[in-house]
Amino acid sequence: MTNNEWENASRPTDKDGKQYHIQCGKGDVARYCLLPGDPKRVGKIARMWDSGHLVADYREHVTYTGKIGDMDISACSTGAGGGSTASALEDLAEVGCDTLIRVGTCGAIQTYIKPGDLIICTGAVRKEGTSDGYVTNSYPAVADHEVTMALIEAAEQLGYTYHVGIGYTASSFFCGQGRPGHNGYSQSFMKTLLPDMQAAGVLNFEMEAATVLTISSLYKMRAGAIFTVVANRVENSFQYDNSTVDHNLEVANLAMQLLWEWDKKKKEKGKAHISLSLIK
């Protein structure tokens, strides 16, 4: 595509209305969308659905749309870190997506959380930098309560070990998470980061949740996040096990189905919010 096919500089779209970063237009993406970081995981997610097809593949953003039963669902990769994640969110919001679940891996920082466990994120410490470009840092990165409820219920139904709490969204994989950089490079703040966050009850380190949760709140979208633990930083253990690493995808797909059912129930009953009395 040549540059002269884009309509404007403030929010580039082509003559067919497709967004610049994800190359999708209205009707290409469902309301309900999973957000992995790795583009290669999108096809894996789609194979868990009843049907699915590739919509777009551009840079770090691969998008599939399909169905689970009668529900329309999509998945779009964000790439690693806040900047590319924000680009995907901007475009997804423009084409009509309003319910998002970030799915990924993380490193636990509490001793009782083991590799293979799941972490459902209720909120995130905003240290990734990107969300600061949207709102003052005192604004919280908080998961939507309905999405969190659906993730918990899905994890219970599938029988996976999970933990619920606050995470830490870092600006980088190494120094931003208190690891030394190349040749042992370090600053004093890196040495206290992990014990400080442990003392605060934070569960894990990762790189995207705060961006997803903050921007979604600002744009009145629902969002949550779930991670498979692949490392425990306290015990210095790392275990990327293909038999467990995709459990978060199973939980997220089921959570989306629950949200779809709950949305129908809310509409039927004329309610704005889900409640236990409405779904029991």
| Residue 121 placed within a domain | yes
Phi-psi region of 215 (alpha: psi -120 to 50; beta: other; left: phi over 0): alpha
Q: How far apart are the first and last CA of the chain?
A: 51
How far is the C-alpha of 236 from the C-alpha of 27, rounded, in Å? 45
Q: pLDDT value at position 59?
A: 92
The 8-class DSSP code of residue 134 comes to T
Q: What is the CATH number of the domain that holds 191?
A: 3.40.50.1580
Mean pLDDT (10-residue bins), the chain, 280 residues: 61 76 87 96 96 94 97 96 94 94 97 96 97 96 98 97 98 93 94 96 97 98 97 90 88 98 94 88
Range of the domain at 178: 24-265
User: Has residue 277 been placed in a domain?
Assistant: no
For residue 279, give every residue at least 6 positions away whose Cβ sits within 8 Å of its Cβ, in sequence order, or none: 262, 265
Q: How many CB atoms lie within 10 A of CB 37?
A: 20
The pLDDT of residue 51: 97
- Quick one: pLDDT at residue 8? 75
- Tokens representing 205? 């380190």
Is 59 inside a domain boundary?
A: yes
Q: What is the pLDDT of residue 129?
A: 94
Query: Residue 164, exposed/middle/buried by CB under 10 A (0-12, 13-18, 19+)?
Result: middle
Give domain status of residue 270, yes or no.
no
The pLDDT score that the predictor gives to residue 7 is: 65
Structure tokens at 132: 């600061």
Q: How many domains does the chain have?
A: 1
CA–CA separation, 101 and 78 (whole Å): 12
Q: 205: closest CA among 159, 181, 252, 171?
A: 171
- SS3 label, residue 133: helix
Q: Is residue 85 part of a domain?
A: yes
Q: How many Å apart are CA 187 and CA 229, to the nearest integer? A: 26
Global pTM value: 0.93
Does residue 10 sit within a domain? no
Cα(164)–Cα(235) distance, integer angstroms: 20
User: Which structure tokens are listed for 171?
Assistant: 């600006």
Question: Distance between CA atoms of 73 and 96, rounded to whole angstroms?
Answer: 12
- Rg, the chain, Cα only: 19
Q: Is 185 helix (H, G, I), strand (E, B) or coil?
A: coil
User: 247-269 vs 145-158: helix axis angle to the nearest 10?
Assistant: 120
Neighbours of 200 (CB within 10 A): 11
**Is the residue at 272 inside a domain?**
no
Asked if residue 66 belongs to a domain, the reply is yes
- Which value, to the nearest 10 degrees, does the dihedral of the CA atoms of residues 140, 146, 152, 155 take? -120
Report the pLDDT value the prediction gives residue 98, as an integer from 0 to 100. Answer: 96
Q: How far apart are CA 197 and CA 203, in angstroms?
A: 8
Give the pLDDT confidence score for residue 2 in this predicted structure.
Answer: 47
